[in-house]
Structure 1
Amino acid sequence: MNVGLLTGGGDCPGLNAVIRAVVRRVAAAGGRCTGILEGWRGLIREMTVPLTVAETHGIVGLGGTILGSSRTNPYKNPETDVASVRAHFEALGLDALVAVGGDDTLGVALRLHKDFRFPVVGVPKTIDNDLDAADFSFGFDTAVNIVVEAADRLRTTGESHRRVMVLETMGRRCGWIACYAGMAAGADYILVPEVPVDLGRMLDSLARRRQAGRHSALVVVAEGARLEGPADPACYPPRDAPGMPRPEGIGASVAWIIENRARVETRTLVLGHMQRGGIPTAADRVLATRLGLAAADLALRRRFGTLLTHRGGQIAEAPLTAENIGPRSLDLAYYDAAAASFA
C-alpha cells in the first residue's frame, strides 16, 4: 500500500512526530509512504519525496515539518487545482492520503471525500487548541510553555522598571493559549475573545494592585480579543493577504489604553510565530506519535473519510464532518479559575 502524507496550514511542534509514526507503522505492515510537499500545493504541482524509516529516524524532536506546509486550498481554483490534485494522486499510485492540519486543510479533505470519495484520513492539528475534534491538540502544550517562559521573563523586567507588561499571544478566534499560559504565569489580568473586554474592570484591577504596593503587572491578551470602539490605530489589525486577516495589534492597543488612562509606563511584546517554533514538549511528542500510529492504522484498514479525535485522553475514529472539524471555544471554567486571582 502506498500512503501519501501531507501537512498543511500553520506549522506546529509535533508534526514530525506524526510523520515518523505514520511511516513506521505503514512500513511495518509492508507498505510505503510518499511525502507530499507544502500541503495541498504539493498535490497540485506533484511535488513529492519518498519517506522511509531511515529518512525519518530522529525527527521526533524536531520542530516544524520536514514536508513543508502552505495554506493552499485547491477549491479556490476548483476547475484547475482540484483536477490536478486528483490527476497527480492517481499518477503517483497512491492508495490513501493522511492529511494533517487544521480546519482549512481538513476542510479540503472533507470536500474531496464528499465530491470524489477521496481516500483520506484526517489528523487534527493546531497550536490554538480550537478544533472540536480534540480536547487538547498537539502543538498547544509547546506553545503554552513558550508563552509562560516569555511571561516569566517579562515579569522580572517589569518589576525592575515598575511597568505594566502586556503580552499578546496567538490563538486566532479563541483564548486557550492566553488563558492557559496566563494562569500558569500568574498573570494579573487576561483578555480573551470569549469574554467581553471590560476595560474599566481591568484598569480598576491594575489600580488596586498599585495601591497595594505592587508596582508592576502582567497582562496577557489573546490576539482575537476585541475592544469596543476605536482606541488607537493599532486596534485595526493588518492582513496577511486578501481575505486572510492577521489579528495582531490588540496588545499595542491595550498597552496604549493602560498608559494613557492609568498613567503607568507600559510595554508590549507580541510573541507571534515564536509560539510555533522550536522543539515540541514531551507531551506533544507523545500525543502526535499516538495520532500518527492511529492514522496509519485507519489508512491500512481503508477506513477513509475519517478523522481522529482526542477526548478524555483517548484517541478514537470519527467521521470526517464539518461538525468534527468545527471551532472550539475556550472552556470558561478555565477563565473563571484564572480570574479568581485578578486583583
Structure 2
Amino acid sequence: MKKILILTGGGDCPGLNAVIRGVAKRARKEKDWEVFGCIEGFNGVYNTPHEFIRLTRSKTAGIHVKGGTILRTTNKSNPINFPVLQPDGTTKFVDRSDELVARLKELKFDAIINIGGDGSQRISKVLCDKGVPIIGVPKTIDNDLSATDMTFGFSTAVQIATDSFDKLVTTAESHNRVIIMEVMGRDAGWIALHSAIAGGAEICLIPEIPYDVKKLVKRIELRYKKGRGFVNIVVAEGAKPKAGTVTATKGEMGSEHVRLGGIAFQLSKELKDAGCKAEIRETVLGHVQRGGSPVAFDRILATLFGVKAFELALEKKFGRMVAFRNNEITSVTLEEATKKPNLVNKNSYLVQAAKGLNISFGD
C-alpha cells in the first residue's frame, strides 16, 4: 500500500476539512492508497511517538460542513524556524528541516500534502528542494496568494464580515454614531474591501492605502447635519496612517510574527484627537472570521483542491501547488506560488468602483 500524509498549518480556515475529505475520498477510488493526517502541522512528525491518524471513511464522513480542521493546526511548527524553549525561559528559533526530512523518509510516505498559506508554501518549497515529495494546497482567508485567483475561506470570511457589518449599520443609525469594524488583513485588504462594498460602508481602510485622518474627519462631517447622522467604517487590522505604523503588539511565545489588532481603537482615538465630534464605537471581529461552517463556494473550491492535490500525487507531479485560475482547477510550481503576495492594487477597478460609490479610503 502507498501512503499519503496530509497536514494543516498556520491559522485555521473554513474549508480545511473539505480539502481533507476531498483527498481521502479521491484516494479511496484507487484502492492501493492509505491516507493519514498529521496532528498540528509538522508537530505530529516531530513528536515522540508520532501523532498521525488514519483518515478512514468514518473519520472523514460529513466533515466538509465543519469549520476548523480535524487535524488541528499551529503556527509554531515551522521546520525552518522552529521555536525551541531555552532553560532561561526565552525562545530560540532553529532550523530543523533536515531532521524533518530524515523522519519523513524513515516513515516512507509516498506523498505529503501541505495545506496552508504563503508561509506554509514557502516551507513546502524548502522541503521539496530537499527531496520531499510534497504538494501544496493554498489556504488563507486573506486571499493574499497571487498564484491563485481565489483561496477557500475567503468567501466565508467576507460573508461573516458583511453579516456583522449589516447589524452594525442599524445600531449606528439608531444612535447617530460612527462605528468602526475591524477585520483581518495583515498585509492585504481584500476582506475589508469586499465587505465594505457589500455592506455599503462610508469609509474603508486597507494596508495598501495609508490614510490621512484629517480627510476621514471631513468625510464623517459630511454625513452629519445638526448632530444627526451615522457613519460605518471597515478597517483591516494592517491598515496604517500616512504618518504612522501598523498597530501591533509582541507575538506569543514561539510565534514568528507580531500580533496585529487594535487599529479600531487606535483609529477611534485619532479621529477624536483630530476633532471628530460624533460618538464613536469599535467592534473587532477577530477570530469570528475564521470560525464556523464554510459557505457553499468554499466547500466546493476546497473539495476540488483536495481532489486535484491527490491527482497530482498520483501522477507524481511534486513541487507544485493546486490553484484556481480562469475558473479552472490547475497547478503552479511552488516557486511561482511563493513569488509575490496578492495585494490590493489601488488603481484596480475594484478600488476605483468603490471610490465611484463614494467610499473613502482616506487618501
Distance 1:80 1:197 in 2: 39
Distance 2:52 2:25 in 1: 18
Distance 1:219 1:299 in 2: 45
Distance 1:22 1:139 in 2: 17
Q: TM-score under structure 1 normalisation?
A: 0.93
After the TM superposition, which of the residue ranges 117-126 and 194-203 deviates more from structure 2? 194-203
After the TM superposition, which of the residue ranges 149-158 and 196-205 deviates more from structure 2? 196-205
Contact map agreement 1:224 1:247 (CA 8 A) in 2: yes
Q: Say if 2:50 is the partner of 1:35.
A: no
2:249: which partner in 1?
Answer: 238
2:64: which partner in 1?
Answer: 60
Equivalent residue for 1:105, pick from 102, 120, 123: 120
Distance 1:15 1:149 in 2: 22
Contact map agreement 1:44 1:82 (CA 8 A) in 2: no
The verdict on how the C-alpha distance between 1:323 and 1:66 changes in structure 2, with shifts beyond 3 A counting, is closer
The verdict on how the C-alpha distance between 1:286 and 1:157 changes in structure 2, with shifts beyond 3 A counting, is same
1:316: which partner in 2?
Answer: 330
Q: Say if 2:92 is the partner of 1:88.
A: no
1:16: which partner in 2?
Answer: 17
Q: Counterparts in 2 of 1:1-343, with a 5 A limit?
A: 1-30=2-31, 31-45=33-47, 46-71=50-75, 72-77=77-82, 81-114=96-129, 116-211=130-225, 215-229=229-243, 236-241=247-252, 243-260=256-273, 261-321=275-335, 324=338, 326-331=340-345, 332-342=348-358
Contact map agreement 1:44 1:81 (CA 8 A) in 2: no
- Gaps of at least 5 residues in structure 1 are none
Contact map agreement 2:81 2:94 (CA 8 A) in 1: no
Aligned residues: percent identity? 38
Amino acid at match of 2:52: T
Displacement of 1:239 = 2.3
- Gaps of at least 5 residues in structure 2 are 83-92
Displacement of 1:318 = 1.3
After the TM superposition, which of the residue ranges 120-129 and 187-196 deviates more from structure 2? 187-196
- Cα deviation 1:33-68 (Å, max 9, x = unaligned): 010110122222222111112210010100000001
Distance 1:251 1:167 in 2: 7
Q: CA RMSD in A?
A: 2.0
Displacement of 1:93 = 2.8
Contact map agreement 1:133 1:308 (CA 8 A) in 2: no
Contact map agreement 2:180 2:234 (CA 8 A) in 1: yes
Q: TM-score under structure 2 normalisation?
A: 0.89
